[in-house]
């Protein structure tokens, strides 16, 4: 694949910032290169030294977990940073466009808008699947990215794999980004294993959901090493702080937590679904491959307001196209889900 025709010329030719820590790899030494404070930090631990700009220790660990070479992993300050960088390396403001399939994750649109990039919107079908024909006929010469989110947020369903293959095979003038933020809850295999076959695919995942590390801000992009190199070249040099790196490394070495969480959350989700089914005002519970459920119900807005007044916070999606009268509910602890159901019954009675 000829990436040079997809990547903007000024990015392709960019000479990246060379940071002090790029030049010397060792951990021992007298560091007089980066203008740090040699006395330490006013904390119980010292954070006075700049962190590894390439986050190699985390990448080694992720490489083992995800079964992919470390040079095919990019790490961002949340997935949001990866989304922004991918847009900026391919789209020159209004000279280029991206395709979104709403209802979907809001950051694609926000990030494209911040970068003044044209947004071509091809809504999902009523079954929340890709309208493949419409997507392909909407592609313009200047289109550089198609965003696919599977399992999709806020609808919770997985996108038909055969449809994704069609898009990947027919859209060769840019990247297909497959956002797999909820893949750990799903029975669908990741597209990570197919990257060798599809050089135009970038897979995104995050530690914010199943891994339980939302506050540390760590998102991942997996792709061909050439793409990863470009992302590394344009990211802020120290985009992942040292404290985050240390904590993430510790968390990734505790593999039981993830497996356990997925089991417990999926179990709690099934219980919650059966309780919701028993509420007559619930119109439809959409199938979920994630840790949330989209629920269509009577008086959604009023219910949402009532729940807030009871300090139960859900996500009102009733004003979103194709999500009319629907609320997105994150699966909580069993006792939290129980209170939610109680409050819903209270409201409707
Ligand atoms: C939550 C979520 C993310 C994660 O974003 P982070 O910046 O990594 O916290 C990415 N994509 C989707 C679709 C999400 O719902």
Same domain, 142 and 192: yes
Which CATH number characterizes residue 295's domain? 3.90.1150.10
Residue 113: how many other CB atoms lie within 10 Å: 11
**79, 211, 222, best to mutate for ligand 1 pocket (most atoms within 8 Å of CB):** 79
- Eight-class DSSP state of 104: S
- pLDDT score of 21: 72
Phi, psi dihedrals of residue 221, rounded to the nearest 5°: -125, 135
290-306: pLDDT as tens digits: 999 999 999 999 999 99
Q: Three-state SS for 256?
A: helix
- Nearest by Cα to 179 from 254, 249, 79: 79
Same domain, 69 and 109: yes
Cβ atoms 53, 19 nearer than 8 A = yes
Cβ atoms 87, 231 nearer than 8 A = no
- Per-residue pLDDT, averaged over 253-280, amounts to 97
How many whole angstroms from 349 Cα to the centroid of ligand 1?
Answer: 36
Q: What is the mean pLDDT of the chain?
A: 97
Same domain, 202 and 343: no
- Per-residue pLDDT, averaged over 173-202, amounts to 98
Same domain, 56 and 101: yes
Cβ atoms 68, 195 nearer than 8 A = yes
Q: Which residues contact 54 (CB under 8 A, 6 or more apart)?
A: 232
Cβ atoms 179, 147 nearer than 8 A = yes
Q: Quickly state the pLDDT bin for 40 (edges 50, 70, 90).
A: very high
Same domain, 149 and 189: yes
| Ligand 1 close to Cβ of residue 219 (< 6 A) | yes
68-93: pLDDT as tens digits: 999 999 999 999 999 999 999 999 99
| Ligand 1 close to Cβ of residue 78 (< 6 A) | yes
Same domain, 103 and 141: yes
Kindly state the percentage of the chain with pLDDT values over 90.
Answer: 95
Pick the last residue of a domain from 225, 253, 281: 253
Phi, psi dihedrals of residue 49, rounded to the nearest 5°: -95, 145
Query: 138-155: string of b/e by CB count within 10 Å (b at 16+)?
Result: ebeebbbbbbbbbbbbbb
How many whole angstroms from 190 Cα to the centroid of ligand 1?
Answer: 16
Phi, psi dihedrals of residue 79, rounded to the nearest 5°: -60, -30
| Residue 347 Cα to chain centre, angstroms | 34
Q: Which residue has the tokens 């196209």?
A: 321
Cβ atoms 53, 271 nearer than 8 A = no
Which CATH number characterizes residue 159's domain? 3.40.640.10
Going by alpha carbons, the residue nearest to atom 11 of ligand 1 is 181
- Nearest by Cα to 91 from 179, 173, 203, 202: 173
Same domain, 110 and 84: yes
Pick the last residue of a domain from 253, 284, 309: 253
Q: What is the dihedral of CA 172, 205, 340, 305, to 10 degrees?
A: -60
CA max distance for the chain: 71
| Ligand 1 close to Cβ of residue 81 (< 6 A) | no
- Per-residue pLDDT, averaged over 254-267, amounts to 96
3-state secondary structure string, 284-297?
EECCCCCCEEEEEE
Same domain, 115 and 202: yes
How far, in Å, CA of 18 to CA of 41, rounded? 25
Cβ atoms 201, 1 nearer than 8 A = no
**82, 101, 105, 183, best to mutate for ligand 1 pocket (most atoms within 8 Å of CB):** 105
How many whole angstroms from 156 Cα to the centroid of ligand 1?
Answer: 13
- pLDDT score of 61: 98
| Ligand 1 atom with least separation from CA of 207 | 8
Cβ atoms 121, 149 nearer than 8 A = no
How many whole angstroms from 180 Cα to the centroid of ligand 1?
Answer: 9
Going by alpha carbons, the residue nearest to atom 7 of ligand 1 is 78
Phi, psi dihedrals of residue 329, rounded to the nearest 5°: -115, 120
Beginning with the edge strand found earlier in the chain, give each strand of the sheet holding 97-100 in spatial order. Answer: 73-76, 219-222, 201-206, 175-179, 143-149, 97-100, 118-121
Same domain, 20 and 137: yes
Helix or strand (DSSP H, E) at 219: strand 219-222
Same domain, 267 and 129: no
**Total residue count of the chain as it appears in this document:** 349
* Containing structural domain, residue 144: 3-253
Same domain, 59 and 170: yes
- pLDDT score of 17: 83
Same domain, 53 and 74: yes
Total number of domains in the chain: 2
| Ligand 1 close to Cβ of residue 208 (< 6 A) | yes
How many whole angstroms from 306 Cα to the centroid of ligand 1?
Answer: 27
Look at the pTM and tell me if it is higher than 0.95.
yes
Pick the last residue of a domain from 200, 227, 253: 253
How far, in Å, CA of 301 to CA of 304, rounded? 5
Going by alpha carbons, the residue nearest to atom 15 of ligand 1 is 153
Cβ atoms 115, 91 nearer than 8 A = yes
| Ligand 1 close to Cβ of residue 155 (< 6 A) | no
Phi, psi dihedrals of residue 289, rounded to the nearest 5°: -110, 20
Cβ atoms 79, 170 nearer than 8 A = no
Going by alpha carbons, the residue nearest to atom 2 of ligand 1 is 181
95-107: pLDDT as tens digits: 999 999 999 999 9
């Amino acid at each position: 694949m000829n990436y040079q025709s997809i990547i903007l010329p000024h990015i392709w030719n960019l000479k990246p910032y060379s940071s002090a820590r790029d030049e010397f790899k060792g951990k021992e030494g007298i560091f007089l290169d980066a203008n740090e404070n040699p006395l330490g930090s006013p904390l119980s631990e010292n954070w006075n030294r700049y962190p590894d700009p390439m986050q190699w220790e985390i990448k080694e660990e992720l490489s083992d977990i995800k079964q992919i070479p470390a040079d095919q992993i990019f790490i961002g300050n949340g997935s949001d940073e990866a989304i922004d960088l991918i847009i900026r390396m391919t789209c020159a403001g209004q000279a280029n466009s991206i395709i979104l399939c709403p209802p979907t994750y809001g950051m694609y649109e926000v990030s494209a808008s911040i970068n003044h990039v044209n947004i071509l919107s091809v809504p999902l079908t009523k079954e929340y699947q890709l309208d493949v024909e419409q997507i392909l006929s909407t592609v313009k010469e200047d289109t550089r990215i198609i965003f696919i989110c599977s399992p999709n947020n806020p609808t919770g369903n997985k996108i038909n794999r055969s449809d994704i293959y069609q898009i990947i095979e027919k859209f060769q003038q840019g990247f297909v980004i497959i956002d797999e933020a909820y893949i750990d809850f799903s029975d669908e295999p990741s597209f990570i294993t197919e990257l060798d076959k599809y050089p135009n695919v970038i897979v995104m995942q995050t530690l914010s959901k199943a891994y339980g590390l939302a506050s540390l801000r760590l998102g991942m992009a997996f792709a061909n090493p050439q793409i990863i190199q470009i992302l590394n070249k344009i990211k802020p040099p120290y985009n992942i702080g040292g404290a985050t790196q240390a904590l993430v490394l510790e968390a990734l070495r505790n593999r039981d937590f993830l497996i356990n969480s997925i089991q417990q959350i999926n179990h709690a989700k099934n219980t919650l679904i059966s309780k919701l089914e028993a509420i007559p005002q619930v119109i439809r519970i959409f199938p979920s491959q994630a840790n949330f459920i989209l629920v269509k119900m009577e008086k959604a807005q009023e219910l949402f307001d009532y729940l807030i007044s009871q300090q139960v916070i859900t996500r009102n999606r009733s004003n979103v196209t194709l999500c009319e009268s629907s609320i997105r509910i994150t699966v909580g602890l069993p006792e939290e889900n129980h209170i939610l159901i109680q409050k819903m019954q209270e409201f409707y009675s």
